[in-house]
Structure 1
């Protein structure tokens, strides 16, 4: 039986082949946990990348659980919970970055709102755009129809049509909501234990909707918080290939069969048909997409911590699968936080360190928005990472 409450926080991360994003994530987590009574547990779902070779050396105090097969998101989290000792459990995706004040702000908000259920947070993607799945309503019949049919795009703020993303509620305000995103969800350990954790019937996708719903059904209130916010690159851990499409819509069918038992057979058949149709259309759209642009040399401009910038300027990079091979900075250009858009074709590298925090970097992103492309680098990391859209895979530049 877990010794819940032996410390304040347990951070649980499930990893699958996103070594370099996880490295940056762990650096952000440990920075945010400074002075806190906490632990970090990483469950690796049989990754075949450099995770096992790189990460334990860099993070000796992290508890790693190395699985020999991919057990799925929910089951891997449940395994971690058997070891967790925190009063609060933070379920976190590996392709996220949390600001230095994350846990402190959560505790302040928890005291203000007296949150007794799960907590979700305002998420932005790697371009600075708000991710609407940060707050969601229960996907009942009509809500699912409006989402699957695309009507939600035509009326993004309508109370009923946009209920899936609660479009009528401001992302800049705190709200009681029904459904939270598993990319970053804080749950009191006693609540997680009471509702039985994740349903392992969901291999990946849909398990956060199911867990959120069961927490609400148990009489607890789930909260969406506008602050603290975080970066969720999303495109890295959610690769929208044919396997993604199949697993996502399979999860939706599991959810319908589980939570709409009282509905008529005709209504359930209609919902299942709508899910399958939407999945088929999504698969066709993904099949028609152009291949992603190869990762290559970019016109980088540097902003942030002076020591981190100096370290990066001395580095040489290996570009995976690029004929250009390696490159280093011949004459890097520095910019300030209020220089405005950095120019077409340029990319802003946010160099994180003691004199330039992730919270400051997120302020820059929100000030200038998706007009710029952003990359991220913590001093001492083995790579520079970034993502220009929540619909594309993340990008990694390896340091040599």
Structure 2
């Protein structure tokens, strides 16, 4: 891994906040995300630590060229010679972080005015939480509820398997993981804050050892938040800190994303569930994917819609690759 030459000129001596970003093949949107930090971070003492996971589009060089005046000051770019995955790359950046708090920020985000200051103010007001998150919108500026989650359960996996969360999206019973029925208009304690916009006390991060690097991508923040409870953390959400999260920019193939997502979920279940619950989760997840792999193509044939036909092809691939996700991610050692 190569590091941009450092310079202390203009750099905060000891920043309050270390912002960590991991990018892969998303030069244009990563530059926009970084620019939004500089544009809206007035009054916040921060450093930006960006790890580029060996992007073939030359992201690291483009970012360095765009923000040449910030290199070694508030921005530090690390170009990896391999794709480390999300968890490992964040851990490496966190080792270099000097701030009292660490903010994980996705490269496919845009900070809205006042977001950083609002989140930090919220953290100062609720220090017992130790992990904090805000409200996200999608690219059309519609509410995106995925910035927070409830912990996965056998019941929530069952509801996903049989599509109950799609049939009743606003139900706290049938869509429990997504906090169905919660309108994201008020503060509350939550189980999980999404890693796209997650603020954490730096000392807590270090006590936890950061992300479990077995999680190559997806569910690593769920594992982090669940483990943090053993140290007294009670993650909280505030609607006053807002960002735009475009989502999935570095994962263009739907089947590839779902394989990683299911692998992350099964890894999470293996770590935190007893054996009997894990067995039920595997059965429910197999049923979920099989139903989609067989049902969606039929829907595509009946409707003639290309969208459903393409989705059917993707779900077939996810089913064919079930050995890649059924037992979770392999032990990295």
Partner Cα distance (2:297, 2:229) in 1: 34
SS in structure 2 at match of 1:116: coil
Q: How many residues align?
A: 285
| 1:227 maps to 2:251 | no
| 1:14 maps to 2:18 | no
Partner Cα distance (2:160, 2:177) in 1: 7
* Larger proportion of strand: 1
TM-score (norm: length of structure 1)? 0.67
Q: Which residue of 2 aligns with 1:56?
A: 64
- The worse-fitting range, judged by mean Cα deviation, of 143-152 and 184-193 is 143-152
TM-score (norm: length of structure 2)? 0.79
Deviation at 1:155, TM superposition (A): 2.2
| 1:95 maps to 2:108 | yes
* Larger proportion of helix: 2
Aligned pair partner of 2:139 in 126, 138, 154: 126
| Contact 2:184 2:239 (C-alpha < 8 Å) held by counterparts | yes
| 1:229-252 Cα shifts (integer Å, max 9, x gaps) | 110000413434222121111111
Aligned pair partner of 1:149 in 158, 162, 172: 162
- Say if 1:184 and 1:268 are closer, same or farther in 2 by CA, change over 3 A: same
| 1:10-32 Cα shifts (integer Å, max 9, x gaps) | 11000000100001000001112
| 1:270 maps to 2:283 | no
- Say if 1:118 and 1:97 are closer, same or farther in 2 by CA, change over 3 A: same
Partner Cα distance (1:254, 1:220) in 2: 22
Over aligned residues, Cα RMSD in angstroms?
Answer: 2.3
Deviation at 1:138, TM superposition (A): 0.6
Q: How does 1:235-254 map to 2 (within 5 A)?
A: 235-254=248-267
Question: Which protein is bigger by CA-based radius of gyration?
Answer: 1
- Say if 1:286 and 1:116 are closer, same or farther in 2 by CA, change over 3 A: farther
Deviation at 1:33, TM superposition (A): 2.1
Aligned pair partner of 1:256 in 269, 273, 285: 269
Q: Which residue of 1 aligns with 2:330?
A: none
Aligned pair partner of 1:202 in 210, 215, 225: 215
Partner Cα distance (1:283, 1:9) in 2: 45
Deviation at 1:64, TM superposition (A): 0.8
- Give unpaired runs (5+ residues) of structure 1: 292-400
- Say if 1:185 and 1:280 are closer, same or farther in 2 by CA, change over 3 A: farther
Q: Which residue of 2 aligns with 1:340?
A: none
SS in structure 2 at match of 1:114: coil
Partner Cα distance (1:156, 1:184) in 2: 23
- Say if 1:239 and 1:174 are closer, same or farther in 2 by CA, change over 3 A: farther
- Say if 1:282 and 1:63 are closer, same or farther in 2 by CA, change over 3 A: farther
| 1:269-293 Cα shifts (integer Å, max 9, x gaps) | 22112223334555675997847xx
| 1:211 maps to 2:224 | yes
